[in-house]
Structure 1
Amino acid sequence: MASTQPAKLRALYRSLLRELPPRPILTTPRAQLHQRLRDNFTPSAPSPTNPDLAVAQAEQFVTYFKAQRVYVNLLERYNPGMGMDEEERVRLSARRVGMDLPAEYGAGKKQKK
C-alpha cells in the first residue's frame, strides 16, 4: 500500500487507529491488530498486487467500524436498562413514573436469595 499517495494512506491509517478500542493504560502493549495494521502501512511492507483495491478495502473497514461504533452508541442510548439486573430495572421504572419502591420490596428479594 506504500505506492499510493502517502497523505491519503496516513489519513486512512489514522482513521483505522481511531476506530480501534483504546488501550486502558499507555504502558500496556498494543494489540496484535494494531501491529498488523502498522506493518501493512510501513514503507518496507510488501506492495499488494492491486494497491487501489487494498486502499478501497481499508476504507470499507473504516466505514464498517464507524457504523458499528454508532450502532453500539444507539443501542446503549435507547436501551439504557440492557446491562442492569431485574431489581434495578424495576426500581428505575418506578422512579420514572414518580414512585419509590417500598423498603419491603428490596428486603424481600434479598431474603429469598
Structure 2
Amino acid sequence: MATPTTPFRTLYRSLLRELPPRPLLTTPRAPLHQRLRETFQQPTLSTSPVQSQSQQPQQQTVWQAQQAEQYAAYLRAQRTYVTLIERYNPGMGMDEEERVRLTARRVGMDLPVEYEEQEGGKL
C-alpha cells in the first residue's frame, strides 16, 4: 500500500518536470524551484497521523494539492503549445531574407544571386 505522501511526491515531481532543467547539479536552484520545495516541505502538505483533529488543515491541504495539480496541467499545456508552434511555424526564428528564399524554393524557384561589388571597383 502506498504511503499518504506518495500523491504529493508525484505532484512535486510532475511540477519539477515542467521547470527548465539545471545545466549542472552543482549550480544553485532557481528561486522558483526553491519556493516549490519549501511549499512541499511545509507541514500542511505532509500528512501525518499526529495531525490536528480539526478538519480545516485537511481541507486546506486538499485545496493546495488541487491547485498544484492545476498548475502542473497548465505548465504541461504551455510546453505542448510551444512545441506545436515551433513545429508548425518553422520560419519563426529566421530572418526575412532567409524566409523569402525558402518560400521561393518551396514553389520551385531559386532567387537570383545578388551582385556584390568587389574592392577596387573592378570585377
TM-score range, shorter chain: 0.7 to 0.9
- Displacement of 1:92 in angstroms is 1.1
Amino acid in structure 2 at the alignment position of 1:20: L
2:57 maps to 1:47: no
Gaps of 5+ in 2: 46-56, 118-123
Residue 85 (structure 1) aligned to one of 88, 95, 113 = 95
Aligned to 1:58: 68
Distance 1:46 1:8 in 2: 15
Counterpart CA distance in 2 for 1:25 and 1:100 is 45
Deviation at 1:97, TM superposition (A): 2.2
Shift of 1:47: 1.6
Q: TM-score, with normalisation over the residues of structure 2?
A: 0.74
* AA in 2 matched with 1:47: T
Once the two structures are aligned, what percentage of the paired residues are identical?
67
Q: Which has the higher contact order (CA 8 A, sep 6+)?
A: 1
**Residues of 2 paired with 1:16 and 1:87: CA distance?**
40
- Tell me the equivalent position of 2:51: none
Alpha-carbon RMSD: 2.1
Q: Which moved more, 1:67-76 or 1:96-105?
A: 96-105
User: Cα offset for 1:67?
Assistant: 0.5
User: In terms of Rg, which structure is larger?
Assistant: 2
- The equivalent residue for 2:17 is 18
| Structure 1 gap ranges (5+) | 109-113
Q: CA deviation at 1:98?
A: 2.7
Aligned with 1:103: secondary structure?
Answer: coil
- Aligned mates of 1:26, 1:92 — CA distance in 2: 41
Between 33-42 and 19-28, the greater mean CA deviation after superposition: 19-28
